[in-house]
Structure 1
Amino acid sequence: MVTVTAEWEFLAHRLREWMVLRSIAVNDPWGPEDFLASSDWCQRTAAQVLTSSAALRLLADRGRTRRVRAAAGLRLAQQRR
């Protein structure tokens, strides 16, 4: 799929972000540096839908925006209840 989308930079980038989200969601190995380098969209989506405490903790501590950090922190607090 990556070779087919390689000529469209945005599409290839978004596909890589989806793969990071998928890896986290299905508990496959993922790199925190790739996750932190992802777009605001990816991090906002992750903060809303992922259940991985490690990913949410990373976003709560080092997410790109205040909005991402707050959303991730809220999800972590909800998980603890």
Structure 2
Amino acid sequence: MIVESGDLDETDEHQRFAVYLRAFDQVSEDEEFALVARVLEDPDAAMGGSAVLRHLDRRAESLLLVEDRMAWMQAMAEVVAARPFLVERLHEWSLFRAVTLGQPWSQDALVAASNWLQLKIAEGPCPGEAAVILAEAGRTKRIRNAARVTLNRRDRG
């Protein structure tokens, strides 16, 4: 389902955002990247980017355990290439996957990661090494505390 301009009220970004999210929920894999490109053409670049970010996060999380997700990641990176924030979020999903699944990852990359990713890792089922790093070097007090809580839970469990 590709959203056509006639389907949208150009003066109501809230309505367009809702239409985009519904379209992402219904889009086939064959049309997904065309829809992302269409939404990124919205006159309100921030709103269009936000709708794509929401979709990207949902889709990346659904593909977390899928071995052949790289084709999707590369295709999505091409579609969002002009939006550095979205490209960075794709990279962060790769780091999240590596940390979560115990694959090789870089301590420097984790320390440099966004607040979003650090908190997601600190509050999630992350390996002890990542929690130790974030408890000491997380970007915010909230991240450091979340990592400490995760470590304490593991020590008690």
Tell me if both proteins adopt one fold, taking TM over 0.5 as the criterion. Answer: yes
What band does the TM-score fall into relative to the shorter chain?
over 0.9
Matched with 1:59 is: 134
- Normalising by the residue count of structure 1, what TM-score does the alignment of the two structures yield? 0.93
Corresponding residue SS for 2:82: coil
- Superposed structure 1 runs of 4+ greater than 6 Å apart: none
Say whether the 8 Å CA contact 1:50–1:56 is kept in structure 2. Answer: no
- Measure the CA separation in 1 of the matches of 2:95 and 2:86: 14
Matched, 1:77 2:152: yes
- Measure the CA separation in 1 of the matches of 2:126 and 2:116: 17
Say whether the 8 Å CA contact 1:44–1:68 is kept in structure 2. Answer: yes
The one-letter code sitting in structure 2 at the alignment partner of 1:15 is: L
Match of 2:114 among 35, 39, 43: 39
Question: Structure 1: any 5+ residue segments left out of the alignment?
Answer: none
- Normalising by the residue count of structure 2, what TM-score does the alignment of the two structures yield? 0.50
Matched with 2:79 is: 4
- Measure the CA separation in 1 of the matches of 2:117 and 2:125: 11
Question: Structure 2: any 5+ residue segments left out of the alignment?
Answer: 1-73
Alignment deviations for residues 32-55 of structure 1 (CA, whole Å, 9 cap, x no partner): 101111111111111111330000
Corresponding residue SS for 1:6: coil
Matched with 1:21 is: 96
Greater Cα radius of gyration, structure 1 or 2: 2
Higher relative contact order (CA 8 A, sep 6+): 1
How many aligned residue pairs are there?
Answer: 81
The one-letter code sitting in structure 2 at the alignment partner of 1:21 is: F
- Measure the CA separation in 2 of the matches of 1:43 and 1:13: 14
